[in-house]
Structure 1
Amino acid sequence: MLRNKALLAIAGFYFCYFAFNGLFSPYWGLYLAGLAFPAWQIGILTSLTQINRIYAPALWGYLADRTGRRQQILRLAGLGGLLFYIPLLFTSTFWPIFIAVLLGSFFWSAALPLVEATAMNLLKGDSGAYSRLRIWGSLGFVAATLLAGYLIDKQGLAVFPWAVMSVMLALAVYCWQIPESPTSEQVVTQETSFLTVLRQREVRALLCSCFLMALAHGPYYSFYSIYLADQGYGKSTIGWFWSIGVVAEIAIFWLMPRLNARFAHKTLLLFGLAVATLRFLQIGWGIESLALLLLAQLAHAFTFGSNHAVNMAYIHHYFAGRHQAKGQALYIAVSFGIGGSLGGILSGTVWQVLGGAWVFSLAAAACALAYWLAWRGLPEHIAR
C-alpha cells in the first residue's frame, strides 16, 4: 500500500514536472518576445534552465547522497522552485526575470534526479515498469502544451506566468508527498567510491553514448520547427509533427515491459541509436517528403523513449546504493544539460553556413559514433 502511494505521488510529480516543460518549450520565447525583449536577452533567458541542468542536479544529487536526506532536499527543491518563480507574476523587466528564472530553475532542476533515483529503487531497476510510470510525464507535457495554447489564444500571453505558477504549486505538493526511499543494499557498490565507478570502461562508454545522443538532438529541439517552416509547412502541421513524436514516445513507454522481456538492454540501446542515425538523415534530406517526415517522427519512440528507459536501467545498475542520486544527476547533466545545450549552440553557429541538411547529417554522425561506443563498451546483459 505504501509503495503504491509513493508511485502515485511520483506519477503526479512526473505529470507536473514535464507539464512545466510543456509550457516553457513552446511558449517561453513567445512570452518574452511579447514583453519586447531584444533577441540577445531572449536567448539568455531561454538558456537558463538548460544551463542550470548542467551543474545543479550534480550538486543536489551529491548533497542527497552525502546526507541521506533525499526527502527533505526534494521538499526544499519543490518549495524553492515555487517561491522563486513568483516574481514572474509581477515583473516585466530583464534582471528581475533573470534572477527569478536562475534561482527557480536551480531548485526545479534538483527535483528530477532525486525522484528518478527513488522511482528506480522502488521498481528495483525495472526499466519496463519505469517506462509505464514515466508515461505520466509525457501526458503532462501534451496536456500543458495544448491547454496553454488554448488559454493563450483566448486570454493572451499574460496568462502564461499564471499557468507556470499553477504547475509549480502542484509540483511542490507532489514533492512533499514522495516518501524517503532507502537505498538498495548492494555491498560492493556501497564500498566502491564514485570515482571508481566512473573509471569503469562500460560506464564511460554509457555516458559518452548519452552525451552524443543528446548532442545530436540539439539541432532537432532548436531548429526542427524552423527547418519545417522554411520549407513552407504551416504552424498547425508543425504542431502535429511534434504531437506525433510525443504519442510515439508514450506508446513505446507502454510497450517497454514486453520489449525488456524479449530483448537485452544493449540490443534495445543499439537499435535506438541506429534508428536515430537514420532519423536525422531522413529529416535532413527528406524534408520535402511528408511520408519520410512522419516516419521520422514515429522514430522518436526509439530515439528518446526506449533509449531513455534503457539508460535509466544502466544508470541504476552502475550507480546503485549511496551513489543513486549522484548517478541520476550525472546522467541528466551529461546528456540533457551539456549534450543538449552544446548541440543547440553548435547547430546555431553553423546553421546558416551549412544548412539544415548538413547540420542534421552531423547529428546522424554523432548517433553513429554513439552506436560504435556502446557496441564496443557495454556488456550484453545487466541484472534486471
Structure 2
Amino acid sequence: MNGNNSTVPYWRLSGFYWFYFASLGALVPYWSLYLKELGYAAQDIGFLMAIILATKIVSPNIWGWIADHTGQRMNIVRLGSLLAAVSFAGVYVSDGYGWLVVVMVLFSFFWNAALPQFEAITFNYLQHQTHRYSNIRLWGSIGFIVTVMLLGPALDRWSAGILPHALLLLFAGIWLSSLTVQERPSGVVRGSHESLIKLLKTPAVLALLSVCLLMQMSHGPYYTFYTIYMEAHGYSRSLIGQLWGLGVIAEVAVFLLLPKLVPRLGLRILLVISLFLAAVRWWLIGYFVESLWIMVFAQVLHAATFGVYHASAIQLIHRYFIGRHQGRGQALYSSLSFGAGGAVGSFYSGLTWDALGAQFTFEIAVVIALTAALVAWFWIPPESDTNQTSASQTKVV
C-alpha cells in the first residue's frame, strides 16, 4: 500500500484510525487510574470498565444491521462519533457512581458504533488487497503510542484529573476525521437473511467467534488493572506509559511485516501462535512483575497478542462474512470479542483482584488463552478450506 493509490484514500482512512486508537490509548491504560483517584474500589472500577466493553455486545449489532440495510455506513460512523463526544462530556457534570454509569453507557453505545462500520469501509476500499489492511491500521497503533507516552508523564505531573480533557479532544478528532472519508459500498451482490443464519451455524465460524471471545476474556486483567498493578509494584506512571507504548511499537512493527507473513504462514497458523503467546504473556506479568526486563519482554509480546491476532481474526471475518453481511460480520467480531469477551474479562478481574489476588487473576487469563489456542487449532480449517468456504458462500449471497 502506498499513498499514491488513487482508489484508496490512504491518509484519510489512516487519520480516522489515528484518532480512534489515540483515544483508546488514553482510555484503556488510564481510565481505571482516574477512577481510582476518584476513590472507587477495584470491584467498582471493574464494573465501570466492563460497561464500556459490554455495550459492544449490543451497539455494533444494532448499528451494523442499520448499515447493512441502508448502506449508509459513513453516516453512521459520523453520527456515532459526534454523539459519543457529546455523551462523554457528561463526566463534567458529576463524578458520582450512578451518573458515571449513565455516562459510560451512553458514550460507549455511540463510540462502539463507529469502528466496525469503518473497518467495513476500509475493506471495501481495499477490495482484493485485504492483506494490506495492516499498512493502514498501523496508524491507529501510532496514535495509541503517541497518546499513551505523552499522557504518562503528564499524569505524573498534573494527576489523572486532566484525563477527561484529553479524551474529549480526541473524541472530537474522531468525528472531524470521519467527515473526510466518503462512502464506499461493497462490490459484492447482497445476500439473504437466511444465508447469514446458515453461515453462523458453520463450525468454522462458530470456532472463530469463540476464539475471539476467549482471547479478549483473557485480556481482562491486563486492560482493567495493568496500570494499577504496575504502580503498586513501584513503577512510575511515566514508566508505565512507556511500557504501554512499547507494546504498541512492537505492534506497529508486526503490522509492517504481516503483508509478507500472511501469504507465507497463513491466517490460521498466525492466529494459533498469537493465542499461545498470549498465555505466555499473562504468565510472565503475573509471576515476574518485579523484573523490569521481563516486563519489557512481556510488552513486546503485544505484537503477537494484539497485532497478529487482530489482523488474522479480522481478515478471517472478512472472508467468511461477505456482501451485505460485512457490517454484521464486523459487528459480531467487535461485540463478541471486545464486547462480551472484554466485559466478562473486566468483570471477573474486578471480582478476583482483591479477593484472590493479582497472580491468581492472571492465572485465569492463562487458562482462557490456552483454551482459545486449542479451539483455533482443532476447529478453524486450514487456509485452503477457508478459501473454498468463502467461494461457496459467494454463490448463495
Distance 1:244 1:23 in 2: 15
Q: Which runs of 5+ in 1 are unaligned?
A: none
Specify the code of the residue in structure 2 equivalent to 1:372: L
Aligned residues of 1:127 and 1:310 also touching (Cα < 8 A):
no
Q: Partner residue of 2:168?
A: 165
TM-score by length of 1: 0.89
Cα deviation 1:103-158 (Å, max 9, x = unaligned): 22211110000001111222226453111211111111122223344555566655
Q: 1:3 aligns with which of 7, 19, 24?
A: 7
Residue identity matched to 2:376: A
Q: 1:267 aligns with which of 260, 269, 273?
A: 269
Q: Distance in 2 between matches of 1:160 and 1:228?
A: 19
Q: CA deviation at 1:222?
A: 2.3
Range with bigger deviation, 340-349 or 12-21: 340-349
Say if 2:119 is the partner of 1:116. yes
Q: CA deviation at 1:47?
A: 3.6
1:206 — aligned with what? 208
Show CA shifts across 1:316-350 (max 9, x none).
01111101111111111111111112112213323
Contact 2:134–2:258 (Cα < 8 Å) also in 1: yes
Equivalent position to 1:75, from 52, 56, 78: 78
Distance in 1 separating the partners of 2:141 and 2:130: 16
Amino acid at match of 2:274: G
1:224 alignment counterpart: 226
Aligned counterparts of 1:160 and 1:352: Cα–Cα separation in 2 = 25
1:51 aligns with: 54
- Structural RMSD (CA): 2.7
TM-superposed deviation, 1:45: 4.1
| Residue 373 of structure 1: how far off its partner (Å) | 1.1
Distance 2:107 2:84 in 1: 4
- Counterpart Cα distance in 2 of 1:167 and 1:233: 27
Counterparts of residues 61-210 of structure 1 (less than 5 Å)? 61-89=64-92, 91-93=94-96, 97-124=100-127, 126-152=129-155, 157=160, 159-185=162-188, 193-210=195-212
**Structure 2, unaligned runs of 5 or more:** 391-397
8 Å Cα contact 2:91-2:164 kept in structure 1:
yes
Distance 2:352 2:37 in 1: 28
Q: Which moved more, 1:272-281 or 1:322-331?
A: 272-281
Q: 2:243 aligns with which of 236, 241, 244?
A: 241
Q: Which secondary structure state, in structure 1, belongs to the residue aligned with residue 219 of structure 2?
A: helix
Contact 2:250 2:300 in 1 (8 A): yes
Aligned-pair CA distance for 1:2: 5.5
- Report the CA distance shift for 1:139/1:321 in structure 2 as closer, same or farther (over 3 A): same
- 2:29 is matched with which residue: 19, 26, 31? 26
How many residue pairs end up in the alignment?
382
Instruction: Check the 8 A contact 1:190/1:321 in 2, yes or no.
Output: no
Which residue of 342, 345, 348 maps to 1:346? Answer: 348
Identity of aligned residues (%): 37
Tell me how far apart the structure 2 counterparts of residues 223 and 40 of structure 1 sit (CA, whole Å).
11
Query: For 1:177, what is the secondary structure of its paired residue?
Result: coil
* 3-state SS of 2:182 partner: coil
Q: Shift in Å at residue 168 of structure 1?
A: 1.8
Q: How far apart are the structure 1 equivalents of 2:33 and 2:218? A: 25
Which piece of structure 1 moves more, 27-36 or 157-166?
Answer: 27-36
Distance 1:44 1:80 in 2: 23
* CA offsets 1:20-52 (integer angstroms, 9 cap, x no match): 112222333444455566777655544432221
Change (3 A) 1:186 1:376: farther
Greater Cα offset, 199-208 or 7-16: 7-16
Residues 91 and 220 of structure 1: is their aligned pair in 2 closer, same or farther, counting only changes over 3 Å? closer
After TM superposition, the structure 1 stretch with the greater mean CA deviation from structure 2, 290-299 or 303-312, is 290-299
Q: Which residue of 2 aligns with 1:363?
A: 365
Going from structure 1 to structure 2, the CA distance change for 1:92 and 1:283 (only over 3 Å counts) comes to closer
Q: Distance in 2 between matches of 1:146 and 1:8?
A: 23
Tell me the residue number matched to 2:394.
none
The answer as to whether partners of 1:125 and 1:316 remain within 8 angstroms in 2 is no
Distance 1:147 1:351 in 2: 28
**Structure 1 residues 226 and 195 mapped into 2: Cα distance closer, same or farther (>3 Å)?**
same
C-alpha contact 2:55 2:339 (8 A) present in aligned 1: yes
Summarize the Cα distance change of 1:291–1:39 in structure 2 as closer, same or farther, 3 Å threshold: closer
* Alpha-carbon shift at residue 161 of structure 1 (Å): 3.0
Preserved CA contact (<8 Å) 2:148 2:242: no
Q: Match for 2:174: what amino acid? A: L
- Counterpart Cα distance in 2 of 1:325 and 1:334: 14
